[in-house]
Structure 1
Amino acid sequence: MLATARRAYKQRAFPARRDAPLACLDTAPGLPFPKRRGYGPPTMRPGGNIFQFLKREVLVGEHEVLHRTLKEALVGICDSVLDIGCGSRSPLHSFSNLLPHTVGVDGHPTSIERSRAAGIHREYHCMDLMEAGQRFGPKSFDAVVALDVIEHFDKPDGFRLLEMMESLARKRVIIFTPNGFLPQDEWDNNVHQVHRSGWEVYDFELRGYHVTGMSGWKPLRGDYALPRIRPFRLGSRLSILTEPFATRWPRHAFQLLAIRDMEVS
């Protein structure tokens, strides 16, 4: 019974890909999980090194798991990345220098200028995000990402955004968004900051995306992804402690990271 449950979980967490079953995994003796060549949470293995697990998934900083997962999904795999709705400080900022060519697109001029001043991307375009499909040709980037963006569109336009991104990407499309609807009003003099839709795991899985939970257990965070428990430092640490659970059961996570491999779709 237990063995059957384990197999069912493994198949759900890491669906086989057509090019190579469990393409993002490789075994590594002594570790509590297989060594990965791609993205997503590793599976625990009996008798493994618990300290490696703690170091990678528990003893981490705020949003460190997100930044690491994005890096593993892009660096060494994608030479060109289009960051739609890049904002002033894209989550790609910590490793964009490791990517040969990155392009930032945003509809808010101030955000573009702040990002340019920080040197996050090599090229910028201030434009309506939905016009990116006209500005760039089909399959013109290895990866197209929209991080904390799709929730700013109503649902029909959000699906059109996904279609546009999928038409532009040769290898990967990456979406990062709250799990469900999270109210948010205009701020920083940017009308585009209003949240207009909520997205669930099935919205992405039905389109062939692999979904990973992010930012810990959903009830522990609120507006702007800030911890609900005070002081913030304690609330943040409690949320981080739930990351291993949230990554593997995204329906219970505060945020979702959805990745679609276009080459095997």
Structure 2
Amino acid sequence: MKIGRKFRPVIINVVNHDNFLGKINELLLGSNTVLDVGCGMGTTLKELCCPFKIGVDAHRPYLENAESGEQFVKLNYEAERLSELFLPKTLDSVTLIDVIEHLDKEVGIDVLRQLEEIAAKKVIVFTPRGFFRQKDFDHYGLGGEAYQRHRSGWEIEDFQKLGYNIVIFSKFHDQKNKAFLEAYGENAEPMDALLAWKDC
């Protein structure tokens, strides 16, 4: 530990609602620019409150079929190489919403490291808690099967040791989620989700 550096405890809260976008927008207050990694067709990005938005996705057809009327800069690039595109502290905030579980754990940790360098204010991650089985199936029919499979599961401790604050969205994933229903069936217990963020 560096001399004079203050230890900041990690905050962990539990909520019993599913308004994760409301919490993300609360965290984005004061950010003028946001980079959404793995933005897909921009469905979630359009809900983010920042005036200037950049969406990056490794699968070009998602960007080409982005929702009409949604204005954001579209970049076809891999999350694993984003430090090649952006200089340190060039964007206020970076989000990974339902993305990190699609990466191997070691790759995901390296992506977080890169994004912490790029972000001037916050890195925000939303992911299932634990390993959520998901098949190589593209519900959009755009040939992105290779990008849809889940490759890692993330727990509180994974983010805690990296210095992230955490909100647990209790029983967030259930049978209303088509992928959950397909993977676990009609009688499965719901699965929590994690929202983790770090001030940069």
Following TM superposition, the consecutive aligned residue runs of length 4 or more in structure 1 with deviations greater than 3 angstroms are 12-15, 117-121, 218-223, 225-231
5 Å matches for 1:1-265?
A: 14=11, 63=18, 65-74=19-28, 76-94=29-47, 96=48, 98-115=49-66, 117-188=67-138, 189-190=143-144, 191-214=146-169, 216-217=170-171, 220=174, 224-226=179-181, 254-262=192-200
The structure with the largest alpha-carbon Rg is 1
Cα displacement string for residues 126-151 of structure 1 (whole angstroms, at most 9, x for unaligned residues) = 11222211111111111011111111
In 2, the alpha carbon distance for the partners of 1:132 and 1:84 equals 9
User: How many residues matched?
Assistant: 185
* CA distance in structure 2 between the partners assigned to 1:260 and 1:89 by the alignment: 23
SS of 1:213's equivalent? strand
Give the direction of change, closer, same or farther, for the CA distance of 1:180–1:77 in structure 2 (3 Å limit). same
CA offset digits 1:145-199 (Å, max 9, x no partner): 1111111111111111110111101100001111111111212221111111111
Offset at 1:80?
0.5
Instruction: Provide the aligned C-alpha RMSD in A.
Output: 3.0
State the Cα distance separating 1:84 from its structure 2 match: 0.6
Q: C-alpha displacement at 1:208, in angstroms?
A: 1.1
Matches of 2:59 and 2:94 in 1, distance apart? 19
Deviation (angstroms), 1:218:
6.6
Identical columns (%): 31
**Residue 64 of structure 2: SS of its match in structure 1?**
helix
- Secondary structure (helix, strand or coil) at the match of 1:103 reads strand
Q: Distance in 2 between matches of 1:194 and 1:138?
A: 30
Task: Kindly indicate whether the alpha-carbon contact (under 8 Å) linking 1:184 and 1:223 is maintained by their aligned counterparts in 2.
Answer: no
Does the aligned pair in 1 maintain the 2:127–2:194 contact within 8 Å?
Answer: yes
Deviation, 1:112, is: 0.7
Distance in 2 (CA, whole Å) between partners of 1:217 and 1:112 is 31
Kindly state the Cα deviation for residue 91 of structure 1 after the two structures are TM-superposed: 2.3
* C-alpha separation in 1, matches of 2:167 and 2:194: 6
Choose between structure 1 and 2: higher strand proportion: 2
Q: What stretches of structure 2 of length at least 5 have no aligned partner?
A: 1-8
Is the contact between residue 70 and residue 92 of structure 1 (CA under 8 Å) also seen in structure 2?
no
Q: Please, what TM-score do these two structures have when normalized by structure 2?
A: 0.80
8 A Cα contact 1:81 1:102, kept in partner: yes
SS at match of 2:151: coil
Per the TM alignment, residue 13 of structure 1 is displaced from its structure 2 partner at its CA by 8.2
Residue 92 of structure 1 and its aligned partner are, at CA, apart by 3.1
> 2: distance between equivalents of 1:212 and 1:220?
18
Higher helix content, 1 or 2: 1
CA contact (8 A) 1:218 1:255 kept: yes
Gaps in structure 1 of 5+ consecutive residues: 1-11, 16-39, 43-56, 240-252
Q: Secondary structure at the match of 2:123?
A: strand
Q: Compared with structure 1, are the counterparts of its residues 146 and 219 closer, same or farther at alpha carbon in structure 2 (3 Å cutoff)?
A: closer
Q: What is the distance in 2 between the residues matched to 1:224 and 1:89?
A: 19
